[in-house]
């Protein structure tokens, strides 16, 4: 039971490049989330999705695009990466009666 | 979601019980108390949650006071691997689509 996985785990890219971070969950959870965590700060919500083909903005959506064509996948795309998007990105999912959010291991992104 | 207050840091000897307090004096009747932890560089890990009864699972116990204004997370036999930041989060049921708000948390250091 893999749970929730993210790929890649580490990524170095250059300013202006497009980057896609992948998130996959095996629980068939309805809700999925993308957070970013900057050094010394808490988690901030970027986007979330209530179901396939339903997405909505969080606190810090600018510069990011999401899609959800399948329940189990929720990719996050940085259309034109900027240095300020250097961060650790966490994907989470929740569903069922308990509504508990479970987090992936994170993707460390460095934008040069 | 109700605001929570936790001590900034705590120390515990390996093998002893770690008792982490959390105040949530403005909690309302439909709000649960969740506990997560984040070990350095890893994704937040769900520990336990409860509404008003005490709860126990394989990781920890959660004691909620009768007036629900505070709670204590208990790690019965702390190990070095329990060193992490512990977050107490209050969240209403039926809010699956909402972000989790992680406050400052308590840095627990388990000493050999």
The pLDDT tens digits of the residues spanning A32-67 come to 999 999 987 788 999 999 899 999 999 899 999 999
Task: Provide the pLDDT confidence category of residue A99 given band limits of 50, 70 and 90.
Answer: confident
Tokens of A53: 């083909």
With contact defined as beta carbons under 8 Å apart, do B23 and B70 qualify? yes
A76: distance to nearest CA of chain B, Å?
Answer: 17
A95: distance to nearest CA of chain B, Å?
Answer: 7
B49–A59 C-beta distance less than 8 A: no
Of the candidates B19, B12, B17, B13, the one whose C-alpha atom is nearest the C-alpha of residue B35 is B19
Of B46, B94, B99, the CB nearest to A45: B99
User: To the nearest whole number, what is the mean pLDDT of chain A?
Assistant: 93
- Burial of B29-65, coded b for 16+ CB within 10 Å and e otherwise, reads eebbbbbbbbeeeebbebbbbbeeeebeeeebbbbbe
3-state SS track over A74-93 = CCEEECCCCHHHCEEEEEEE
Backbone dihedral region for residue B51 (phi beyond 0: left; psi -120 to 50: alpha; all else: beta): alpha
Q: Is the pLDDT of residue A91 over 80?
A: yes
B96–A30 C-beta distance less than 8 A: yes
**Quick one: DSSP state of residue B100?**
P
**A61 part of contact set with chain B, CB < 8 Å:** no
Task: Provide the pLDDT confidence category of residue B53 given band limits of 50, 70 and 90.
Answer: confident
Give A51's strand partners. A54
């Amino acid at each position: 039971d893999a749970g929730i996985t993210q790929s890649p785990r580490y990524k170095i890219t250059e300013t202006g490049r497009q980057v896609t971070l992948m998130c996959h969950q095996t629980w068939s959870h309805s809700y999925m989330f993308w957070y970013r965590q900057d050094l010394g700060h808490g988690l901030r919500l970027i986007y979330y999705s209530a179901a396939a083909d339903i997405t909505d903005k969080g606190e810090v959506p600018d510069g990011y695009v999401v899609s959800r064509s399948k329940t189990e996948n929720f990719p996050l795309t940085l259309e034109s990466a900027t240095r300020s998007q250097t961060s650790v990105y966490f994907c989470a999912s929740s569903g069922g009666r308990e509504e508990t959010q479970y987090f992936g291991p994170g993707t460390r992104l460095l934008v040069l | 979601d109700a605001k929570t207050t936790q001590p900034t840091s705590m120390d515990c000897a390996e093998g002893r019980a770690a008792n982490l307090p959390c105040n949530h004096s403005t909690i309302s009747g439909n709000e649960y108390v969740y506990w997560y932890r984040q070990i350095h560089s890893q994704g937040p890990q769900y520990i336990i949650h409860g509404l008003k009864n005490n709860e126990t699972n394989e990781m920890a116990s959660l004691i909620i006071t009768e007036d629900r204004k505070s709670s204590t997370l208990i790690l019965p036999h702390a190990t070095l691997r329990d060193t992490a930041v512990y977050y107490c989060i209050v969240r209403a049921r039926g809010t699956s689509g909402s972000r989790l708000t992680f406050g400052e948390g308590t840095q627990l250091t388990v000493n050999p």
